Chains A and B, each alone.
Chain A
Amino acid sequence: MDDDIELRRLIDTIYSRYHYDFRRYSSASVRRRAVQGMIALGCKTFSGLEELVVQDPAAFTQLLQYLTVQVSDLFRDPGYFRAFRERVVPVLRTYPSIKLWVAGCANGEEVYSFAVLLLEEGLLDRTMIYATDINPSALQAAEAGIYLLDRMRAFTANHQASGGTCSLSSYYTANYGSAVFDRTLRKNVVFSDHSLATDAVFSEVQVVSCRNVLIYFERELQDRAVGLFHDALSLRGFLGLGAKETLRFSRHEMGFDAFDAEERWYRRH
């Protein structure tokens, strides 16, 4: 399979034409996702796909869904949210206002997890949540806050394991196989287009949660992203990563202390 050069060209073209930068993403995942997109769009080669997306922005929008598809859960890795609730929240409680950045929010599962948790802890009213992603369709889905009802059993179990104090079902309404999250949960949420590969810091925040995003980034891009988090965080601000992500080997490792190493919470110097 020597279509590596074709794939490279497709990724370069996407960047120059549409300013989406997948050039420093892990090749294995990008290849797999591009193949899925290629099949869905009826192309036979990466070159054919490149030609199509150059001519047809709508086809690119479709391809983007394949390139960025992520499936997370509410309260995925309950221990992460338990650590946030038990160890980070007591610190946040001493602040008059809180800004939390969920970087790479995909379809919003983590946004609603934090919103529910902060509501339960009585902090949601004074918290601003920035939910960012590169995919506008994912942001729309996140803003809608609608998930398959089938998934709620797993979400509920995660919520309980994370130390949830109320029933998760009190935060959504079931409707024709869907669970629609209460709009009051997102009254302080700003959903916004932001790329860790190309954009800059947009606000000072006290907490950054960026999970299962760095696993796709080559080292150089990881360093860029963690550098943004460092710049965005206020002194002693908190950074949370995915269960299989770490600041070990990062250029910015020295800029953070491990706060809860097991659950991947760090604190900025």
Chain B
Amino acid sequence: MVPAALGARAGVEAVVVGGSAGAVAALGEVLPKLPADFPPVLVVVHVLPSTPHLLAELFAPRCAMRVLEAESFAAIERGCVYFAPADYHLLVTRDRRCALSIEPPVNFSRPSIDVLFESAAVAFGPSLVGVVLTGASHDGAEGARVIAEGGGRTLVQEPATTEVPVMPAAVLAAVPSAHAVPLAGMASALRAMVMAP
């Protein structure tokens, strides 16, 4: 299932996930399949700022992991999923806590996937895994490049298995080391990366 190149180099200490159009359904194929003791997962989904989204409430009952909306300065803990709140950027501090911000939108998005990925790459370096799901933007491509630069790895949803292939395709174009994984295999690929010695 997992390409040899993805075999663990550093242990995986955190996973960052970004998605846009179609991503809520795609996340439903990933998050509920992760075990309760999985490393922390931080998630940015593009949603309209005017509609308070209830992603944490939506996913909490379906997941073994604890599902929360990220709060500024909350410690990032194993076994927890953190969603970026609507209309805030979610960042990771050097000492591995959540940080929220209302700096300008990036790639027309707030929260932005690049902002999460870049800050997480600084905090987690080679022990970070990025995941880019379905979407119609280029948000996430620059972030995945920064993750690779820090020695971390990125998986993208196999474009053929997406609702909108633009976003994972942009990552594949920008980051040669990124690997495409069909949606149905994404959770097991992540589990294998965490399990691998």
Contact residues of A with B, CB < 8 Å?
A: 1, 4, 26-29, 31-33, 69-72, 76, 154, 157-158, 212, 214-216, 218-219, 243-245
B101 x A216 contact (CB < 8 A):
yes
Contact residues of B: prevailing secondary structure: loop
Chain A residues near B88 (CB-CB < 8 A): 215, 244
Interface stretch among B7-15, B56-64, B92-100, B184-192? B92-100
Residues from chain B with a CB closer than 8 A to the CB of A72 are 102
Q: How far is the CB of B145 from chain A (nearest CB, A)?
A: 14
Q: List 9 extra interface pairs beyond A32-B119, A154-B50, CB under 8 A.
A: A28-B92, A28-B94, A28-B122, A29-B101, A72-B102, A214-B72, A215-B88, A216-B101, A244-B88
- Look across to chain B and name the residue whose beta carbon is closest to the beta carbon of A70: B102
Q: Is B118 an interface residue (CB 8 A)?
A: yes
**Residues of B that sit less than 8 Å from A by CB:** 50, 71-73, 85, 87-88, 91-95, 99-105, 110, 115, 118-119, 122-123, 150
B72 adjacent to A26 (CB under 8 Å): yes
Q: Across the interface, which residues of B come within 8 angstroms of A1, CB to CB?
A: 122, 150
Q: Are B100 and A71 closer than 8 Å at their CB atoms?
A: no
- B71 CB contacts on chain A under 8 angstroms: 244
The smallest C-beta distance from B65 to any residue of chain A, in angstroms, reads 21
A28 touches B119 (CB 8 A): yes
Residue pair A29, B99 in contact (C-beta under 8 Å): yes
Which B residues are CB-close (under 8 A) to A244? 71-72, 85, 88, 100
- Residue in B94, B95, B103, B150 whose beta carbon sits within 8 Å of that of A33 in the complex: B103
In the complex, the answer to whether A32 meets B115 with C-beta atoms within 8 Å is yes
Q: Given the complex of chains A and B, what is the CA–CA distance between A4 and B93 in angstroms?
A: 11
Are A71's CB and B118's CB within 8 A?
no
Please determine whether A26 and B50 come into contact, CB atoms closer than 8 angstroms: no
The interface residues of chain B lying within 8 Å CB-to-CB of A245 are 72
- A215: contacting residue among B87, B92, B101, B110, CB under 8 A: B101
CB distance A28 to B99 under 8 Å?
Answer: yes
Evaluate contact between B104 and A69: CB separation under 8 angstroms.
Answer: yes
A232-B75 Cα distance, complex, nearest whole Å:
32
| Contact B103 A215, beta carbon cutoff 8 Å | no
Closest to B104 in A: A71
- Cβ contacts under 8 Å, B85 to chain A: 243-244
Most buried by B among A31, A72, A214: A31
